[in-house]
Structure formats: structure tokens, C-alpha cells
Homo-oligomer: A and B are copies of this chain.
Amino acid sequence: MTDYSTSMRLKLPVVCIVLEVILIILFGLVVEYNDDTDAKKWDKYNRTTTQNLENEFYARYPSFQDVHVMIFIGFGFLMTFLQRYGFSSVGFNFLIAAFSLQWATLMQGFLHGLHHGKIHVGVESMINADFCTGSVLISFGAVLGKTSPVQMLIMAIFEVALFAVNEYILLSLLNARDAGGSMTIHTFGAYFGLMVTRVLYRPNLDKSKHRNSSVYHSDLFAMIGTIYLWMFWPSFNSAITAIGDDQHRTALNTYYSLAACTLATYAFSALVNHEGKLDMVHIQNAALAGGVAVGTAGEMMLTPFGSMIVGFLAGTISVLGYKYLTPVLESKLKIQDTCGVHNLHGMPGVMGAIVGSITAAAASASVYGNGMKEVFPEVFNKNFTASTQAVMQIASLAVTLGMALIGGLIVGFILKLPIYGAPPDTLCFEDSVYWEVPGEEEGHDELTTVKSADESEKLRG
């Protein structure tokens, strides 16, 4: 894939400005405050303090902010592990996310219920938009280092739209449950991205191989991303579950799943290494698989016991995937998965869908009582048996995989056009293609520079 120029001088401004202007116009036409954010509607009633505290803001905004941190710090810094791609990792993550959350608000609004032709926004739409954005960022992880920011914005346009359609099919047509997005976010984002990277396959990527690895400090920056994702995953999975025990239980289950996952990750990371040394790639990624794998079942009565089993298995398959599967995917299937999203989001996402289906199949009134109303409303309303719910969950996984793979295939070919300023094979994983990188001449450390200067003098002397 050779482009005429990697300069973003015109491409990026044109794309950003056109997209933002379209967004602003569409927001002007169809977006309204919802009842909880509109001064007139909310204050129609003379509310007491307690009633004001029932504003959805108070139950959901702390969760939103945790999710927001995961999207911008978590995903952004997780990808800074590359030695010379930190600006792009954090910076393009920032750009793509800022665009996607606006576009997702519109697409999800269109599909999940207009109010007299208007989209109503509030903290719940903010969380949902961030969720959709997360999916795009997962796909970004698969192609990291090999694409231009313009390419990523084009990808986001299509992926957000497809995400919203898939989400609509799952949640509104199939009546599946997926509060933490094992299917809608992780499985979709991973397989979409894997297909895109397959289509964008670069046979000569080894020309940039020396840059496709970490250095000491870049791995520490990446750990900032990892730890934030790990800590706030309970908030992610519980952010849009029902108010009351549901949010509480989802956070709890996710917390236990992640803790068990972490021990599995350390165990298998040491085990698969010949010298028994731990590998930062595993710790940074596989320790998070437990959050992905309870994305569907987290709100259900999975129990801490069940959550820990799921987390332990997720960490295990994720490490094994990094060790044994990723090299095969690259050599045999020509899938160059920079961040290994197949191991962190793909397989654990599928596992999460299956765990969700099994847990749904086991749902009974004796366990859920009236709580069935929030967790499985179709079962509560006798529209579904627990088995039907389970089937719908598995059907949702199949739909998601299909949408992701076909969507990724088409979008991959769109992104293959040589017009987006993608980097040449020799300059992948390199910030200086798209960024003014400081200190090129002097070294990034004054002290080193000083010393080098001395040495140079000695050399000359």
C-alpha cells in the first residue's frame, strides 16, 4: 500500500472540518435535551432535594466518568507500549474517540428510539456513545501503527454505524442482554478490526519490525492504561445496568473476575516463558480479559464463584493466545494484529457471549425472584423461557460475528484506497510520520546529549 503522500496538511483538516460541520448541523436538527437535562421539563415539577437527586445524573455520572477514563486514558495509554508511537497512540485515540462519541450519539439515537423525530441526550447517551467508541478503539488496536488518522476516521464512520445496527439487532430485535458489551463492543470491535487488518495486510511489514516493540519506559506508560482499564472495568460493565442491586452486582462480579484473571495471567505468563520470566505484553493485556468475559453475564446471578472461574479461564486463554495463536494468525492467516486484540477482546468476547448464554439458560425464578424483571425482562414477562433467552444470546453472538467480519471486509477494502496517507512499510509504528517529534537532533535526554557532546569533542580531539 503506497500513498502519494503522508502529509496531513489538507487531508486531515478537510476530513475533520467536514465531519464536524456535518455533526453540528445534524445535532442542530435532531438532538434535544432529555427530560433530565432540560430546564423546563425537569423543573416542571416542584422537586424536593430527594427528588432532584433522582435525576439520572447522580446514579450514572460517576460510572460515566470511569468509562470515560477507560476510553481516553485506558485505551490511549495501553497502546503507548510501542517505542516510537506514543504520540499517535494517545493522540489518534483521542481524535478517533472525540469524533466517534458524537457520531455514535446520532447513530444510536436514530436506531434506539426517536422522540417525535428527535434524539434525546443525557448521561445514558453519553455512556452508550463512549461504549460504541470503545469498539472503534479496539479495532484501532488491531491496525495500530499501520494507518493514518484519516483512515481511522473513515473507519470510525462506518464502524460506528455498523455497531449501532448490530446493537439494535441484538438488544431490540433479539432481546439479548449484553450490558457490558462482550458481544456488542468486544467481539464486534475485535473481529471487525481483525478483518480490516487482514485486508490491509502488508507483506513487507518487517521493514518496520525494529519499531514494532516496546522499550522500558513505553511499557510503563502502557501500564497506566492497563491499570486504569482494570480498576474501572467494574464501572464499565455496570454503567447502564438497572439502578439498584443490578449495578451493584455487576460491579462486584467484574471485580472478582478480574482478580482471578490476574492470577491466571501471571501464572501462565511465567509458565510459557523458557526462562520463567514474566512478559509485559501478557500482563498489560491478558489481565484484562476477565472484564471482557463477564461483559454479558456480569449483571446476571453469576455469583462471585462463577465470576472467578470465568476470569481465570479468560486470563488463561488470553496468555496462550498471545503466545501460540498470534504468531500463527500472522504467518498463516496474514492477520497482523498489532495489539493482539484477538486475545484481549476477540476470544474473551466470544467466551463472554457463551458464558452469558449459559447463565441465561440457568435463570430461574427461585434465584432471581422479582429481580428477573430487570435482568431478563422477556423471561419475567413470560415472552421467553430461560432457554429461549439462551438461544437468543447465542444467536446474537452469531449475528455479531457475521456483521463484524463482513463489515470489516468491506470497510477494509474502502480503507485500502491509496488516498488516505497511510505510512509506507518502512515507516510504520513511527510517530514522526504524522507528528512534529521533538528532540530529533539532540536526543530526548539533556544529560545524554551533554555526554554525547563531550564524547564528540573527544572524538574530534
Contact = CB atoms under 8 A, between A and B. Distances in A.
Interface in A427-443: 432, 434-440, 442-443
A66 B232 CA distance: 10
A44 B260 CA distance: 31
A122 B228 contact: no
Q: How large is the interface on A (under 10, 10 to 19, 20 to 34, 35 or more residues)?
A: 35 or more
Contacts of A312: 20, 24
B304 A439 contact: no
A426 interface: no
Given A62-B61, A263-B19, A369 B40 contact: yes
Interface stretch (A31-39, A185-193, A345-353): A31-39
Q: How many copies does the complex hold?
A: 3
Nearest to A279: B436
A172 interface: no
B8 A270 contact: yes
Nearest to A253: B37
Given A53-B58, A252-B121, A215 B90 contact: no
Identify the 4 closest CB pairs spanning chains A and B, nearest first: A39-B371, A9-B276, A40-B369, A42-B245
A211 B446 contact: yes
A327 B442 CA distance: 23
Nearest to A99: B263
Interface stretch (A163-171, A354-362, A389-397, A451-459): A451-459
Given A245-B39, A276-B12, A277-B8, A438 B216 contact: yes
A403 interface: no
B375 A248 contact: no
Contacts of A53: 50, 53-54, 58-59, 243
Contact of A102 (B91, B98, B256): B256
Contacts of A378: none
B259 A98 contact: yes
A213 to B, nearest CB: 6
Interface string A312-338: 100000000000000000000000000
Contacts of A368: 39-40
Nearest to A278: B435
Most chain B beta-carbon neighbours within 10 Å: one of A39, A51, A437, A445: A39
A255 interface: yes
A259 B105 CA distance: 12
B232 A65 contact: yes
B43 A374 contact: yes
Contacts of A304: 27, 31, 33, 121
Contact of A54 (B50, B372, B447): B50
Given A9-B270, A91-B278, 14 more contacts: A13-B270, A20-B308, A24-B260, A24-B312, A37-B252, A39-B367, A43-B245, A53-B53, A73-B224, A77-B224, A83-B446, A98-B287, A99-B259, A215-B445
A242 to B, nearest CB: 8
A170 B69 CA distance: 34
Most chain B beta-carbon neighbours within 10 Å: one of A7, A11, A372: A7
A84 to B, nearest CB: 5
A101 B83 CA distance: 33
A2 interface: no
A160 interface: no
A382 interface: no
Contacts of A215: 438-439, 444-446
B39 A263 contact: no
Contact of A68 (B94, B231, B370): B231
A86 B219 CA distance: 9
Given A36-B248, A94-B262, A459-B458, A435 B102 contact: no
